[in-house]
């Protein structure tokens, strides 16, 4: 069957519809409605990008007492099931969790993604160790030096340790 023969029923139907302005307007209205519903569905679909960890990281690094972070929602790192995944004492804050995000097309694994976030979150940071399983940073805040270490504990399992 030729291409012309396959298109003939469609062109005949469109020709008939154009004879009746109301039908034509209804078809255009239905098409516009479908397009707007499709656009709305795209907006509602959750993004596959990782959550922004900077607010929680800044809150943790700036905390005067790591022990208080257990009860503060602002210190909750994205992907942590609960604050019970973190241990704190007066000099360190240590969290373990599974990375639930996918690679974003630029960074291939969760450790690299977390390391890039740490480097981008702080203006006064030195990235002094970068291996496939561990990344270490020194954040300076006034007279204080804070060590931030991100490491891999297992497949997609991360550890973040912040220490003074």
Residues 14 and 32 in one domain: yes
Q: Do residues 80 and 51 lie in contact, with contact meaning Cβ atoms separated by under 8 Å?
A: no
DSSP code, position 71: G
- List, for residues 94-149, the tens digit of each pLDDT value: 998 876 655 555 556 788 888 999 999 999 999 999 998 999 999 998 888 999 99
Residues 68 and 40 in one domain: no
DSSP code, position 137: E
Residues 60 and 12 in one domain: no
Any residues with CB less than 8 A from the CB of 67 and at least 6 apart, and which?
A: 88, 89, 90
For residue 131, being part of any structural domain is answered with: yes
Average pLDDT of the chain, as a whole number = 75
pTM here is: 0.64
Res 112: pLDDT? 87
- Print the domain residue range for 135: 54-163
Res 82: pLDDT? 64
Residues 25 and 89 in one domain: no
Residues 75 and 151 in one domain: yes
Residues 153 and 78 in one domain: yes
**Cα dihedral 152/153/158/164 (nearest 10):** -90
**Cα dihedral 115/121/126/132 (nearest 10):** 0
Res 47: pLDDT? 47
Q: Name the pLDDT band for 46 (thresholds 50, 70, 90).
A: very low
For residue 157, being part of any structural domain is answered with: yes
For residue 49, being part of any structural domain is answered with: no
**HEC letters along 9-62:** HHHHHHHHHHHCHHHHHHHHHHHHHHHHHHHHHHHHCCCCCCCCCHHHHHHHHH
The total of structural domains in the chain comes to: 2
């Amino acid at each position: 069957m030729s291409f012309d023969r396959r298109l003939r029923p469609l062109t005949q139907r469109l020709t008939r519809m154009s004879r009746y302005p109301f039908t034509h307007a209804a078809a255009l209205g239905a098409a516009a409605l479908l397009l707007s519903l499709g656009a709305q569905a795209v907006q509602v679909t959750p993004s596959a990008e990782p959550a922004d960890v900077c607010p929680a990281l800044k809150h943790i690094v700036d905390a005067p007492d790591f022990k208080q972070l257990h009860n503060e929602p602002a210190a909750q790192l994205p992907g942590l099931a609960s604050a019970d995944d973190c241990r704190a004492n007066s000099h360190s804050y240590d969290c373990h969790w599974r990375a639930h995000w996918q690679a974003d097309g630029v960074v291939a694994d969760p450790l690299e993604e977390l390391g890039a976030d740490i480097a981008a979150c702080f203006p006064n940071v030195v990235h002094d160790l970068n291996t496939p399983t561990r990344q270490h940073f020194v954040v300076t805040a006034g007279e204080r030096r804070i060590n931030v270490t991100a490491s891999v504990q297992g497949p997609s399992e991360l550890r973040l340790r912040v220490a003074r």
